[in-house]
Amino acid sequence: MLMISPRMASGMQEKQYTPSLLSFFIYNPKFGPREGEEEKKILFYHPIEIEKNEKIRNVGLCEAIVQFTRTFCPTKPAKSLHTQKNRQFFHEPEENYWMVMVVRNPMVEKPNKDGKPPTVEYQEEEIIDSVYGSVLQQCYSMYKLFNGTFSRAFEAGGVELLIQKLEKFFYRYLQTLHLQSCDLLDVFGGISFFPLDKMTYLKIQSFVNRVEESLSHVKYTAFLYNDQLIWSGLEQDDMQILYKYLTTSLFPRHTEPELAGRDSPLRPEVAGNLLHYGRFLTGPANLKDPDAKFRFPKIFVNTEDSYEELHLIVYKAMSAAVCFMVNAAVDLSRELCEQLDSLVGPQLTLLASDICEQYNINRRISGPEKEPQFKFIYFNHMNLAEKSTIHMRKTASVSLTSVHPDLMKILGDINCDFARVDEDEEIIVKAMITGLLERSLIRGSCTSF
């Protein structure tokens, strides 16, 4: 991404370039061990138009770096390589399967007088390893959610099937990466939970239990409101990546202006049957359409143990959304979808109204929102809860913060220090902010700010 900032002194303009993706590739050194077979190692390479010999050279260089660093620490190979112009990140999600992401460093292009070529200054220190290393790990997690593991694909159909799956997924997924908006929240990959009173929470739990009892095919359920999680039956690691998919991809695609009063606590009463606003976000767009397609995306969960393949049904009414996960062997027919719609739609509409009403009551009691006294980023490793008073807006493509970018860089550096220290080490942090000198002693096991 290019940004232009005027130079006040001379009227010239500086061009600022944010981090961008140069290349992304996946290889397995076991697939081409002999000379002349190097191309067989490459399972995926972006951009596709790169010449074959250059691909082989780049993969060979990464392979050599990884092997060289293993001589110093066999259990912890290289994770990144720093150069003036770019940063390379390495990740081995499965044995012998390597993912590499090459990011161009931010740079400033300063114009020169007398028609000389502009001076380019690379800002390599602006790239934080932990942030972009986490982005690379999320690439694998998102692939695994919809395709399963690399090794399972190889076992099912050999290298040809694996390459086919990788190309189908990553050529589209890489277009959604916005590296310029990545920051410390991408390291945590946390979940935002919606605050609820006990009675409303019990209503939601009762709703989930009733639906799972009435629809025996439903194996797992997740309940969200305003893109925040309230209830989940999935394991945390699976819910973490599913939550990211829902909030950064699926929900934004289906955002539409709600009808006036739709989220009002006033309930529409219709004799004999309650009017509801339920609709499918995955699957059929219109149940009444005779040509509707009843195809739902499949996800893979518990890949370390039972390796379950499931249909993902996402159903929404107003600001409330429910994810139903059904065994992939079950045929999701029109009759089943109509049954789900008639059962879930009215109840979910009522629940959305109850939650909205309770939320508005709490807001009136607490009064108007005030500027937070302290700015912080909070992450709980136990339940993956995440909260930030620093971010005014955080989406896949935008990250707006209420603090200077230099402070975000400092927080990222502190987080890197936390990741490096042992449990018995300590970090002393000194910060000068708005004239106040703060000094805190932080133990290595603490990771919240």
Contact predicate 246/314, CB 8 Å = yes
Lowest mean pLDDT among 48-52, 124-128, 144-148, 422-426: 422-426
47 upstream amide cis, omega within 30 of 0: yes
The CATH class of 198-257+274-366 is: alpha beta
Lowest mean pLDDT among 191-195, 380-384, 442-446: 442-446
Residue 192 scores a pLDDT above 90:
yes
Q: For residue 2, what are the contacts with CB-CB under 8 A and spacing of at least 6?
A: 15, 16, 17, 18
Written as one string, the DSSP assignment of 273-329 is S----EEESSS-S-TT-TT------EEEE-TTTT-EEEEEEEEEETTEEEEEEEETT
**Paired residues of 108 in beta bridges:** 16, 121
Contact predicate 93/137, CB 8 Å = yes
Q: How confident is the model at residue 419 (pLDDT cuts 50, 70, 90)?
A: confident
Q: For residue 384, what are the contacts with CB-CB under 8 A and spacing of at least 6?
A: 188, 189, 190, 191, 236, 239, 240
pLDDT of residue 222: 97
CA-CA distance, 31 to 351, in Å (whole number)? Answer: 53
User: Hey, how many other C-beta atoms are within 10 angstroms of the C-beta on 53?
Assistant: 10
- Do 15-182 and 198-257+274-366 agree at the fold level? yes
**In the chain, % of residues over pLDDT 90:** 55
Residue 434 scores a pLDDT above 70:
no
Written as one string, the DSSP assignment of 93-124 is EETTEEEEEEEEPPEEEE--STTPPPEEEE-G
What kind of architecture, by CATH, is found in domain 15-182?
A: 2-Layer Sandwich (3.30)
Q: Show me where the domains of the chain are located.
A: 15-182, 198-257+274-366, 405-448
pLDDT of residue 386: 92
Tens-place pLDDT, residues 70-79 = 888 888 888 9
Taking alpha carbons only, the member of 270, 254, 388 closest to residue 321 is 254
Q: Is 229 helix (H, G, I), strand (E, B) or coil?
A: strand
pLDDT of residue 430: 55
Residue 395 scores a pLDDT above 80:
no
More confidently predicted of 425 and 23: 23
Tens-place pLDDT, residues 207-230 = 999 999 999 999 999 999 999 999
Tens-place pLDDT, residues 64-105 = 999 998 888 888 888 999 999 999 999 999 999 999 999 999
pLDDT of residue 101: 97
Lowest mean pLDDT among 220-224, 285-289, 420-424, 431-435: 431-435
Contact predicate 124/82, CB 8 Å = yes
